[in-house]
A and B are shown apart, each in its own frame.
Chain A
Amino acid sequence: MKENSLKNNVYIATRRWVIPLLILFGMVVAWELWVQLSDVPKWQLPAPSEIIRELISSWSILWKHTMITVQEVVFGFLFALVVGLLLAVGISYSRILEKSLYPIVISSQTIPIIAIAPLLLIWVGYGMTSKVIVVALICFYPITVNTVDGLRSVGTDMINMMRTLGASRWQIFTKLQIPTSLPYMFSGIRVGISISVIGAVIGEWVGASSGLGFLIIQSQAVLLTSRVFAAIAVLSIMGVSLFLLSSLTERLMLPWYHDSKSTARMKNRKT
């Protein structure tokens, strides 16, 4: 019995981690071989080994620009979080605010961010502020929309239960609506944070003197393709790390949510 469950665990771990990693590794090897065996010039497509070499040799440059982009992403995201949550509360709390703000929130997403970015340069200048705003503009939307859905998902019978306990409207909001909306808010945060990096790079492309987006443009101009790839690698590592960080925060803040979900999954698997 015990051996069986150990076997089972090994099997699950293999399926979850080992096989995907092997597939990924195989793809990198195929890329390496393709570049080595054919005559693709280095400036067109560098081999993975070349990119890793570049990552190591120009680490100090990459690090400097990474720090700039990280700051833009973090400040932009936090700005979006505060504004996004305030908007969500306003929209779900008042009919008038819903009718006036929600259309603006939605239409703000129909304008391509790349079209607004040059305007921001004119308004707030060349520095970090314009990038922070672009990041915030990109990631407030999923946070707001999801949180509004979450605040609205509270059932009337739950609200009635609170009322029979003598709860005020404020108590219903803080003790029932906010906790109910947290899982929704976190899925908004996960979406927002994974696209926040895109916002920073767009902001830097439009006009900047530092940051990984700037480094990509600059390296591309002189056909330093391996450095472009190195910067892209750092960007994707950054995006994935931020995503994992937000998932971890969610797990720590909502232990009940994941426990109940995994229990439900186990039950489904049995039947």
Chain B
Amino acid sequence: MTSDQKIKLQSISKSFSIDGKKKLVLDGINLTVTKGEFVSIIGPSGCGKTTLLNVIGGLEEPNEGVIEIEDVPSDRRLGRIGYMQQKDLLFPWRTVLNNTILGLEMQGVARKDARQKALELTDTFGLKGFEKQYPFVLSGGMRQRAAFLRTMLLGEDVILLDEPFGSLDALTRSKMQEWLMNLWQSLKKTIILVTHDIDEALLLSDRIYVLTARPAKVRTVLNVTLPRPRHYHKTVAQPAFLRMKARLLASLHKEKWFK
């Protein structure tokens, strides 16, 4: 295989024991992400998408399988992969700026240098003028972007995003999607996005993994061949977009949603 492979999951299985019973959540997941690629993972709610990200990010270890980062098996991934969870998880006692430098502080960067580094990016992240505010005065979108900056400042090549726009209203969400697309193109990061929003996945991704209901397996992998640059209002109306959407929906609807 080629060496521009960034992350490779080989038959990853993960189970939790609930009330003494073993419950299989991930069942032999294979997934490959190349350098600079934007990959989305969609699937029925509760299928184990977040667990999959937790495993990739190192919060959980798989029961079986190997995770390779740049062709090297890796069992220490915490702090080496950027991971933004569903909630913004900003510290209410820290100003926006001091929230964003949290990761750098963990790495032992002096606060002054860390702030300097963050200040260079507050404009790109739409936080200029709000650096000294506490998070509670910020809008949902801004809080999310602050959490984003906190993840980005770590400087990792791989960023995991767990439904980052799930709690935002439709208009803010579409704006954030375009913003993320531009950011990804300018920073050349590798992104794995978990979402339940099919439009979002199609708009942003190079490739989409569709998971089955729990225990999650990979049902379909779809290459999104839509030309870039993409724009929300143009791209979502393209026939190719609609065809792929229909395919994804069909794939998802084969799943049993209730058990």
Contact = CB atoms under 8 A, between A and B. Distances in A.
Contacts of B107: 166
Interface string B224-257: 0000000000000000000000000000000000
B87 A175 contact: no
Given A158-B89, A160-B59, A165 B136 contact: no
Interface string A203-237: 00000000000000000000000000000000000
Given A257-B93, A260-B92, A163 B102 contact: no
B105 interface: yes
Contacts of A257: 92-93
Main secondary structure of the interface of B (DSSP, over half): loop
Chain B interface residue number, banded? 20 to 34
A260 B87 CA distance: 18
B16 to A, nearest CB: 14
Interface string A2-40: 000000000000000000000000000000000000000
A167 B106 contact: yes
B183 to A, nearest CB: 19
A256 interface: yes
A94 interface: no
Given A164-B83, A263-B136, A171 B106 contact: yes
B92 A164 contact: no
Interface string B60-98: 000000000000000000111111010101011110000
Contact of A166 (B54, B94, B103, B134): B103
Contacts, number: 62
Interface string B142-167: 00000000100010000000000000
A164 B93 contact: no
A235 B174 CA distance: 62
Contacts of B89: 157-158, 161
Contacts of B83: 164
A163 B87 contact: no
A263 B79 contact: no
Contacts of A160: 54, 59, 85
B93 A259 contact: no
Chain A interface residue number, banded? 20 to 34
B254 to A, nearest CB: 32
A19 B154 CA distance: 56
B105 A175 contact: yes
Contacts of A182: 93
**Shortest beta-carbon contacts, A-B, top 8:** A166-B79, A164-B83, A165-B103, A260-B136, A161-B89, A256-B134, A179-B93, A165-B106
26 contacts: A157-B87, A158-B89, A160-B85, A161-B85, A163-B59, A163-B78, A163-B79, A164-B59, A164-B78, A164-B79, A165-B103, A165-B106, A166-B78, A166-B106, A166-B154, A168-B106, A175-B105, A179-B93, A254-B93, A256-B92, A256-B94, A257-B92, A257-B93, A260-B92, A260-B134, A260-B136
